[in-house]
Structure 1
Amino acid sequence: MTAPKVLISDALSPAAVQIFKDRGIDVTFDPGLGKDKDRLAAIIGEYDGLAIRSATKATAKLLEAATKLKVIGRAGIGVDNVEIPAATARGVIVMNTPFGNSITTAEHAIAMMFALARQIPAADLSTQAGKWEKNRFMGVEITGKTLGLIGAGNIGSIVADRAVGLKMRVIAYDPYLSPERAVALGVEKVELEDLLKRADFITLHVPMTAMTKNILSAEALAKTKKGVRIINCARGGLVDEAALADLLKSGHVAGAAFDVFSVEPAESNPLFGLDNVVCTPHLGAATNEAQENVALQVAEQMSDYLLKGAITNAVNFPSITAEEAPRVKPFVDLAEKLGSFLGQLTEAPVKGIRIEYEGAVASLNLKAISAAAITGVLRPFLPEINMVNSAMVAKEKGIVVEELTREVAGNLESRIKIVVEAEDMPRHAAGTVFQDGKPRIVEIRDIQVDAEFAPHMLYVRNADKAGFIGQFGSLLGAAGVNVATFSLGRDKPGGDAICYVAVDEAISDELLDKIHEIPMVKRARRLKF
């Protein structure tokens, strides 16, 4: 049997190279190759695996030349440099290493908090300039202060552990933090408004999503305790930087320490130049240990896949055997899209997910299909979730996942129904896979529909009254929106109705506002799959 071949096209630890060799894999180490896309494209067709960091861009064009490629391993968490849909379409597994730099990032947040509390960077510059301004740099103690965590996931929980060791009081805002997990971490779970009022220090540890963007908006920042200090080592765009700069100048906010910015590389920023601000150039994961950890982890994962077929930390496919794949994959696709449909309609925190399997699908690998369903539901809130870690993430967030099976599925051969229990209300939808292998949605809110999924869709819930379709269609036509499919359903004449439309491009904010103005419309939501 010919040994699998792996190309490492970015700088990776020599220890990672040795792992491939020790496992019997033919490895080529060319750390500068990722920056030469033409030379990379010329040789990529020889390899079964590609190990990268951030310099190599695994584009659709490159993947076309990668005729033998089976796996891409990203040493690190971000996979923005990999075109995931193109890789998936070609059957290429994309793996990352989501937890290899967690400790390093958490430590940087703690270091930034100390630097801010004791004004270390400014004091260093002053002292080395020959000044002795001891009275100028009066700091504050960490001990006994209240630290407010926004996000208590993997990195946030490490920060909490370190802060408790520093004798701080730790409060945390995280809708998915269970009471039991909060007790185990030694933190008090609170709502965001309470955190803003009480925290002496605030540190952010959430991903960038539509729901977390500007979570510390001008309005939220105005509610903070006077003298608060804010640390962001998570993602740029979580804080309104201009509003924060104004509050720093006024003295309401005592200081800020940022490692990430809304625009990077950050050559200018409203926070730059302020005396009470500490800035670093996105150094959260920049330690020798973190870089070594992610390199070793990706080498092990890729070796396991190429030699054994084991899939770990894949961002585009669940754990599943080669024998199961042909039968399971269409239902994995259905479950993820059905979950995504419900997740995109859900704004309140999710408490539970129930997946009901009816008919032939109940005999398949439900772990893989359920993982896809959980991933679909939670990805709008947690974009870094994948089908491998989704069950673990749901458990950590205190989300109860249930599976129910039934031998029959009415008049369908197979049917999957997902119920999302959120804090405001439950939402549910059902779907199936017909002989063409394409997933279809067949029920929404107990209303029968029949629609395929498309990249851009529009969901409208409305009162079943004459005139709606005319007004709705006229708005789409006037906006130049081309309709691909148009599915309707209602519970009874004059009752509640649903309109589910596939369009060729995303609906604009302006058009969505106009749709909401139609008197019969109760809710309109654009969806992306």
Structure 2
Amino acid sequence: MPKVLISDSLSPRAVEIFRERGIETDVRTGLKPDELAAIVGGYDGLAIRSATKVTKDILAAATNLKVVGRAGIGVDNVDVPAATARGVVVMNTPFGNSITTAEHAIALMVALARDIPTANASTHAGKWEKNRFMGVELTGKTLGVIGCGNIGSIVADRALGLKMKVVAFDPFLTPERAADLGVEKADLDTLLARSDFITLHTPLTDQTRNIIDAAALAKCKRGVRIINCARGGLVVEEDLKAALDSGQVAGAAFDVFLVEPAKTNILFGMEQVICTPHLGASTTEAQEKVALQVAEQMADYLLTGAIVNAINMPSVSAEDAPKLTPYMALCGQLGGFLGQVVRSSIRAVTVEYEGDVADLNTRPLTAVLLKGLLTPLMESVNMVNAPTIARERDIKVSEVKRGEAADYHTLIKVTVQTESRSRTIAGSLFGGDKPRLVAIDEVPVEAELTPTMLYIRNEDKPGFIGRLGVALGDAGVNIASFHLGRVAPGVDAVCLVSVDQPVDGPLLERISALPSVVRVELLRF
């Protein structure tokens, strides 16, 4: 009989579901890390919310663990790479909290517009300061939505019901999808300049971290109000405080913070700031939904092997898994590469399978590829819901299979069509199980994709390699591998450099400024 540990507070119904399905269940909340490590080895499943931190050390102690189920969207508290390395499936419930979180953002926006928390405190104190609290109407105001995915689109819909105008910034939002939602698609600078209120609904990635900083705030209307129910780290809290002090920002409402639990914060105590303790998912209905969903998903996996809403594994049968595993790694890398270099809305994705791979079940491969492609700028994408998200975003996905082999015995070629251009990448397996990149935009280049890489488009001119090496060497960054490709002598070339140390923003700027460099991107896999 499988055994599950529930280490965070979940609805009692979750326990009932596990036991109805014949799964032994223990509930032990509030465990310290060493206490959890001491007992987790006796369980097949671990059901959590946000309090339990499933670290590499916890996973090392979890010798029998097969699945971690997160009742909620984010899996920031789970070391997913470590879980994957140990063969532990990580599941979440990506849509159970969507309405609740969106409603919380709307509630904070209304409270911010009318200064309700401060007025409430004043009235409770018997002051009756009617003339002190002069709010603003929402009707006719412009709401800027940064991230118009599942939650952001619900916020937009509610704001339209309040007779607001909605402007959305989301690189994956197509004009057709924007029209369906009734919002205006805009670039970030336009959104900042036009919005009376700004609400954030994007994941925390390298592209979105600190997206609202001093420079962004300076581009806003004076008196803008900002709401963040998404992730701490999207807004530079110090820069926001300075903007509040100067009057550039009239008010802010935050449910999330850079460091949580937030016992102290630079924004605390400011009269024009509303703070709540990460309550986005805290409604009776949402907690009931996610508890039921995670219990059903974990029970199905432990009893039948069915996989739903997995972060690190697609839906694959036991028969196909050994054959597909190396191709999944390759597809994840190809999608992840394109997801980090594409900068405009994706209209279509074409995946061509040639040679040996064309005879396999390619649906999970395409799902893995889409997951890698969509993850950098979209929240809660996994291998199961990636195709659905692509359809919702009006991204046309097509597969082409050719049984005959050409230059490689097996080849996967991906073409992404954006609003402005198309990008192509191709990869193969060397030795039957080693993923290799073999072409970028038809430029041949054979490279192994490693955790940290520089992708450079450059003019094929003498001295480029030496100058790049000096720039990296001066910064103390060691080159692990160096791969070059070009169309013809003296014309466009590509360079992929695997490095051993982190590459920061100033170093990227120095490399971008080198002669012959057209474009440079920092890639992480």
Band of TM-score, shorter chain: over 0.9
Question: 1:524 and 1:138, CA in 2 relative to 1: closer, same or farther beyond 3 A?
Answer: closer
Q: Secondary structure at the match of 1:441?
A: strand
Match of 1:152 among 130, 148, 155: 148
Q: CA deviation at 1:438?
A: 1.3
* Range moving further from structure 2, 227-236 or 350-359: 227-236
2:463 corresponds in structure 1 to: 467
1:8 corresponds in structure 2 to: 6
Question: 1:520 and 1:177, CA in 2 relative to 1: closer, same or farther beyond 3 A?
Answer: closer
Match of 1:114 among 89, 110, 116: 110
Question: 1:60 and 1:275, CA in 2 relative to 1: closer, same or farther beyond 3 A?
Answer: closer
Match of 1:293 among 284, 289, 293: 289
Q: CA deviation at 1:243?
A: 4.3
1:433-469 superposed Cα distances (whole Å, 9 cap, x missing partner)? 1235110111122222222222222223333333333
1:94-146 superposed Cα distances (whole Å, 9 cap, x missing partner)? 00112121122111112112212222111111111121212222333334433
2:330 corresponds in structure 1 to: 334
How do residues 212-231 of structure 1 correspond to structure 2 at under 5 angstroms? 212-231=208-227
Q: Distance in 2 between matches of 1:191 and 1:409?
A: 43
Q: Is the 8 A contact 1:460 1:523 kept in 2?
A: yes
1:376 corresponds in structure 2 to: 372
1:386 corresponds in structure 2 to: 382
* Range moving further from structure 2, 319-328 or 248-257: 248-257
Question: 1:354 and 1:479, CA in 2 relative to 1: closer, same or farther beyond 3 A?
Answer: same
1:37 corresponds in structure 2 to: 33
Match of 1:345 among 341, 352, 356: 341
1:57-115 superposed Cα distances (whole Å, 9 cap, x missing partner)? 32233323333322111112222222211211222110011212112211111211221
1:308 corresponds in structure 2 to: 304
1:102 corresponds in structure 2 to: 98
2:172 corresponds in structure 1 to: 176
Q: Distance in 1 between matches of 2:256 and 2:26?
A: 34
1:526 corresponds in structure 2 to: 522
1:515 corresponds in structure 2 to: 511
1:201 corresponds in structure 2 to: 197
Q: Distance in 2 between matches of 1:443 and 1:14?
A: 53
Match of 1:51 among 19, 43, 47: 47
Q: Distance in 1 between matches of 2:243 and 2:450?
A: 45
Matched letter for residue 399 of structure 2: E
2:16 corresponds in structure 1 to: 18
1:467-520 superposed Cα distances (whole Å, 9 cap, x missing partner)? 333333344444443333332222222233333232323334444344334423
1:90 corresponds in structure 2 to: 86
Matched letter for residue 67 of structure 2: V
1:140 corresponds in structure 2 to: 136
Match of 2:26 among 25, 28, 31: 28
Q: CA deviation at 1:298?
A: 0.5
Q: Is the 8 A contact 1:228 1:252 kept in 2?
A: yes
Question: 1:215 and 1:63, CA in 2 relative to 1: closer, same or farther beyond 3 A?
Answer: closer
Matched letter for residue 453 of structure 1: L
Q: Distance in 2 between matches of 1:222 and 1:180?
A: 31
Q: Distance in 1 between matches of 2:190 and 2:9?
A: 45
Q: Verify: 1:452 aligned to 2:448, yes or no.
A: yes
Question: 1:378 and 1:133, CA in 2 relative to 1: closer, same or farther beyond 3 A?
Answer: same
Matched letter for residue 503 of structure 2: I
Question: 1:372 and 1:160, CA in 2 relative to 1: closer, same or farther beyond 3 A?
Answer: same
Q: CA deviation at 1:303?
A: 0.9
Q: Is the 8 A contact 1:463 1:521 kept in 2?
A: yes
* Range moving further from structure 2, 497-506 or 183-192: 183-192
Q: Verify: 1:72 aligned to 2:46, yes or no.
A: no
* Range moving further from structure 2, 9-18 or 178-187: 178-187
Q: TM-score, normalised by structure 1?
A: 0.91
Question: 1:38 and 1:410, CA in 2 relative to 1: closer, same or farther beyond 3 A?
Answer: same
Q: Secondary structure at the match of 1:379?
A: helix
Q: Is the 8 A contact 2:171 2:343 kept in 1?
A: no
1:501 corresponds in structure 2 to: 497
Q: Is the 8 A contact 1:457 1:506 kept in 2?
A: no
Question: 1:203 and 1:411, CA in 2 relative to 1: closer, same or farther beyond 3 A?
Answer: closer
Q: Is the 8 A contact 2:172 2:344 kept in 1?
A: no
Question: 1:185 and 1:470, CA in 2 relative to 1: closer, same or farther beyond 3 A?
Answer: closer
Question: 1:163 and 1:383, CA in 2 relative to 1: closer, same or farther beyond 3 A?
Answer: closer
Q: Secondary structure at the match of 2:251?
A: strand
Q: Is the 8 A contact 1:462 1:498 kept in 2?
A: yes
Q: CA deviation at 1:246?
A: 4.3
Question: 1:44 and 1:482, CA in 2 relative to 1: closer, same or farther beyond 3 A?
Answer: same
Matched letter for residue 317 of structure 1: M
Match of 2:159 among 163, 170, 177: 163
Q: Distance in 2 between matches of 1:193 and 1:487?
A: 36
Question: 1:142 and 1:432, CA in 2 relative to 1: closer, same or farther beyond 3 A?
Answer: same
Q: CA deviation at 1:279?
A: 2.0
Q: Distance in 1 between matches of 2:26 and 2:431?
A: 43
Q: Distance in 1 between matches of 2:294 and 2:243?
A: 43
Q: Is the 8 A contact 1:209 1:383 kept in 2?
A: no
1:403-444 superposed Cα distances (whole Å, 9 cap, x missing partner)? 222122313211001122233432221111123511011112
1:214-253 superposed Cα distances (whole Å, 9 cap, x missing partner)? 4333343334344433222222233344444444444454
Q: CA deviation at 1:43?
A: 3.4
* Range moving further from structure 2, 66-75 or 204-213: 204-213
1:233 corresponds in structure 2 to: 229
Matched letter for residue 2 of structure 2: P
Q: Is the 8 A contact 2:447 2:483 kept in 1?
A: yes
1:429 corresponds in structure 2 to: 425
Question: 1:498 and 1:40, CA in 2 relative to 1: closer, same or farther beyond 3 A?
Answer: same
Matched letter for residue 307 of structure 1: L
Q: Is the 8 A contact 1:200 1:225 kept in 2?
A: yes
Q: CA deviation at 1:269?
A: 4.3
2:183 corresponds in structure 1 to: 187
Q: Distance in 1 between matches of 2:489 and 2:28?
A: 67
Question: 1:308 and 1:428, CA in 2 relative to 1: closer, same or farther beyond 3 A?
Answer: same
Question: 1:482 and 1:370, CA in 2 relative to 1: closer, same or farther beyond 3 A?
Answer: same
Q: Is the 8 A contact 2:149 2:379 kept in 1?
A: no
1:373-405 superposed Cα distances (whole Å, 9 cap, x missing partner)? 111122222253221111122222232222222
Q: How many residue pairs end up in the alignment?
A: 525
* Range moving further from structure 2, 69-78 or 339-348: 339-348
Q: Distance in 2 between matches of 1:479 and 1:394?
A: 40
Q: Is the 8 A contact 1:176 1:398 kept in 2?
A: no
Question: 1:219 and 1:468, CA in 2 relative to 1: closer, same or farther beyond 3 A?
Answer: closer
Q: Verify: 1:411 aligned to 2:407, yes or no.
A: yes
Q: Secondary structure at the match of 1:375?
A: helix
Q: Secondary structure at the match of 2:411?
A: strand
Q: Distance in 1 between matches of 2:176 and 2:444?
A: 40
Question: 1:493 and 1:113, CA in 2 relative to 1: closer, same or farther beyond 3 A?
Answer: closer
Structure 2 unmatched runs, 5+ = none
Matched letter for residue 109 of structure 1: A
Percent identity over the alignment is 61
